[in-house]
Amino acid sequence: MELRQRRINTAIFAIIGAVVGYLSFLINSPPLSLLLAIAVMVISVFAVKKIFSISEKKWWSSPVVLYITTWIVVWAIFFNIYIVQAPV
């Protein structure tokens, strides 16, 4: 896989991870948030593989780690902002 395609895959998974992190915050239920994150991750892997016609077997390992990290970080940021702004 060429470098340009790897960069595009990385950007796609980072953006999807950020969006799902925010949606997980809005759902406000850890089990449902985890289920959403896993479902979107699996769908994204298959969609990106199909769209870019990727034939490699282990291409997804790095973007998936980035997706999970971005999801957790974005969810934690929004959750902490909500906690700080909550009335006492």
pTM of this prediction?
0.85
Whole-angstrom distance, CA of residue 74 vs CA of residue 4:
26
Span 26-35, pLDDT tens digits: 998 889 999 9
Say yes or no to pLDDT of 13 above 90: yes
Say yes or no to pLDDT of 88 above 70: no
Domain span including residue 65: 3-85
At 56, is the pLDDT very low, low, confident or very high (cuts 50, 70, 90)? confident
Number of domains composing the chain:
1
Higher pLDDT, 51 or 88: 51
Q: CB within 8 A of 56, min separation 6: which ones? A: 1
Whole-angstrom distance, CA of residue 80 vs CA of residue 88:
14
